């Protein structure tokens, strides 16, 4: 089978729209499968793209896994929902600033209506909202203290 796609890292993979070709490339061990998963998220139905995105999330190459999580976030943005397999894969990776899934989880929380989220994601919505608000207050307080110190130093000089 001759592939019509440039698997050597060409940005044309973002236009990728053939789930069967993705499966064949996976079997051949092609490199940029995570990039192609983003193309599937853009150009295919969620039900077709989802199992391939989940498989791409398990690739050995960390960069390509990162692209697969980007594909999950893209799917959430475009469809306003995810499949149970994608929710499970995001939950398995977990949140956190150093987690490869952090942006995909936040995209899911942003673009999927709260009522449609599974319970764990609802909890993450509450957690991230509180965490972001506390961080905002901390930064505001730090700025205010810094401003007060600058004013006091000027008055002393």
Which pLDDT score is estimated for 12? Answer: 72
Write out the chain's pLDDT in tens, 157 residues. 345 666 665 567 778 888 998 998 899 888 788 888 999 999 999 999 999 999 999 999 998 999 999 999 999 999 999 999 999 999 999 877 678 999 999 999 999 999 999 999 999 999 989 999 999 999 999 999 998 899 888 888 7
| CA torsion, ordered 20, 25, 31, 32, to nearest 10 deg | -20
What is the per-residue pLDDT across 85-103, written as a single tens digit (0 to 9) for each?
A: 999 999 999 877 678 999 9
Q: How far apart are CA 7 and CA 107, in angstroms?
A: 28
Q: Are 39 and 74 in contact (CB under 8 A)?
A: no
**Annotated domain spans of the chain:** 11-118
């Amino acid at each position: 089978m001759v592939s019509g796609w440039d698997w050597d890292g060409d940005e044309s993979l973002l236009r990728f729209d053939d789930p069967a070709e993705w499966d064949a490339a996976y079997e051949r061990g092609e490199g940029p499968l995570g990039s192609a998963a983003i193309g599937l998220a853009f150009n295919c139905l969620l039900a077709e793209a989802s199992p391939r995105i989940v498989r791409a999330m398990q690739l050995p190459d960390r960069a390509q896994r990162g692209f697969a999580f980007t594909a999950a976030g893209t799917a959430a943005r475009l469809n306003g929902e995810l499949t149970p397999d994608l929710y499970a894969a995001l939950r398995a990776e977990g949140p956190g600033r150093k987690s490869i899934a952090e942006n995909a989880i936040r995209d899911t929380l942003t673009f999927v209506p709260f009522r449609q989220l599974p319970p764990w994601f609802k909890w993450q919505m509450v957690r991230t909202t509180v965490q972001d608000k506390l961080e905002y207050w901390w930064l505001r307080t730090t700025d205010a203290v810094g401003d007060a110190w600058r004013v006091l130093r000027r008055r002393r000089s």
